[in-house]
Structures are given as C-alpha cells and as structure tokens.
Amino acid sequence: METHSQRNTQQRQAVLEELRKLTSHPTAATLYEIVRRRLPKISLGTVYRNLELLTRLGTIQKLEVGGEEARYDGNVQRHGHVRCVKCGRVDDIDAPSLDLSGGTANDSGAYQLLDYRIQFLGICPQCRAGARNTGSLGKAPVEPDETANDSLQP
Ligand SMILES: [Zn+2]
Ligand SMILES: [Zn+2]
C-alpha cells in the first residue's frame, strides 16, 4: 500500500512532467484535464497546489497577466512570451536581451534591478487567418475559439 507522501510525490511528478511536455503555457484547469488522464483521482485543487509549490521552488514559472487566469510554463530559461489578444493563447518568442549586469539602470530610480519579464501582445496565426476569412465574408469577428484547447482533444 502506498503512503500518503508517496502519492504526493507521484502527483507532483505527474504535474511537472505533463507541464514540461507542453509549450502552450496551460492554465491550472487545462493542465488538470491532462494530468487526470494519467492520475484519475487527482483533484484540481491538488494540481493547483502543486503548481504553486513548483513555482515557489523555481522549478516552473507562473505567467501572470492582469485580469487573466495564471498560466504555467515548464521552461524556466529566460524567454519572452507573446499573448494573442483575441484568443488568449500564449507562445514563446525570442525577445531582445537586456543587460542588467550593472544591477542598475539610469531610470530605475533607487531600485537595484534583478530581473525582467517580457510579454508581447499580438494576434496569433489562427486568429489572423480567421479574421481574414470572416472579414472577406463580411461576418462578425471570430468568437474566442477552442484552438487554445487543442491539446484537450483526443
Ligand atoms: Zn489567437
Ligand atoms: Zn514560455
């Protein structure tokens, strides 16, 4: 019979492994749907708690955007993100690198600079294609669609 702590470790490992397979920066709810296929008894609360713990440990990173549900990234290397303003999808992007080695910048005031996050806003290829297609037909803009949840389809 497995112990409580073995189960916890197994759950945390599953959350981490499934997150690292994805480049779609899932929300806790999206990742829960995926992890549940592997561990049917896991709860959304457990997935959420493990994501928070892994974020605190620096094993994963949490992407927080004002007014948006937090998304998680298994890649902790410094990299930029681009978020589609239409469907909310988040992709990795090469971002210009800033040199913080001096620890200060002219306009940083009294702050010692430690790190930075770059997030671009844009319109993803799917939404651009959708906008073109519906535009030519004179229809209303596309609804927020399911493309961000592709990974949930069987
Ligand atoms: Zn989009
Ligand atoms: Zn990323």
Distance CA(93)–CA(23), nearest Å, equals 11
Question: How far apart are the CA of 87 and the centre of ligand 2, in A?
Answer: 17
152: three-class secondary structure by DSSP = helix
DSSP characters for 79-128? -EEEEETTT--EEEE--PPP--TTS--TTSTTPPP-----EEEE--HHHH
Task: Considering every ligand atom shown, identify the ligand nearest to the alpha carbon of residue 127 and give its number.
Answer: 1
**68 C-alpha to ligand 1 centroid (Å):** 15
Question: Does 150 score more than 90 pLDDT?
Answer: no
Give the distance (Å) from ligand 1 centre to CA of residue 141: 12
Question: What is the spatial distance between Cα 59 and Cα 111, in angstroms, rounded to a whole number?
Answer: 26
Q: How confident is the model over 46-68, as a mean pLDDT?
A: 91
Expressed in angstroms and rounded, the spacing between residue 142 Cα and the centre of ligand 1 is: 10
Distance (Å) from CA 114 to ligand 2 centroid? 19
Q: What is the pTM of this model?
A: 0.73
Q: What is the domain partition of the chain in residue ranges?
A: 1-74, 78-145
CATH fold of 1-74: Arc Repressor Mutant, subunit A (1.10.10)
Q: Which two tokens stand for residue 70?
A: 């937090």
Provide the pLDDT for residue 139: 44
Pick the CATH number of 78-145 from 3.30.70.270, 3.40.718.10, 3.30.1490.190, 3.40.50.720: 3.30.1490.190
Taking only the tens place, the pLDDT of each residue in 75-125 is: 998 899 999 999 989 999 987 777 776 665 556 667 788 888 888 999 999
Q: HSE of 100 in the Cβ direction (CA atoms, 13 Å)?
A: 11
pLDDT grade, residue 66 (50/70/90)?
low
Please report, rounded to a whole number, the percentage of residues in the chain having pLDDT higher than 90: 54
The two structure tokens encoding residue 131: 């906008």
